[in-house]
Amino acid sequence: MTLIVNGETLESSAATLSELLLVLEFEGEWLATAVNGELVHREDRRACRLSDGDRIEVLSPMQGG
């Protein structure tokens, strides 16, 4: 299926948000995720099913100053 992740179009067979994060190698306790503009909490990512055309945003903290 086609997904838009952080503004970039990609093809993925990941069925859930947690699977997609593994495929894309996003790791860490501090990730913030949203699907189609709705915040998805860490504990809900396994149950968050993805559909063709979904827009996913993944944010991680930046270091520096």
Is 32 within the bounds of a domain? Answer: yes
Q: State the pTM of this model.
A: 0.88
Q: Which domain holds residue 34?
A: 14-51
Q: In DSSP terms, which residues pair with 3 in a beta bridge?
A: 10
Is 30 within the bounds of a domain? Answer: yes
Note the pLDDT tens digit of each residue in 12-52: 999 999 999 999 998 877 899 999 999 999 999 999 999 99
Is 65 within the bounds of a domain? Answer: no
Number of folded domains that form the chain = 1
- Helix (H) or strand (E) segment spanning residue 58: strand 55-59
| pLDDT at residue 64 in the model | 60
Is 56 within the bounds of a domain? Answer: no
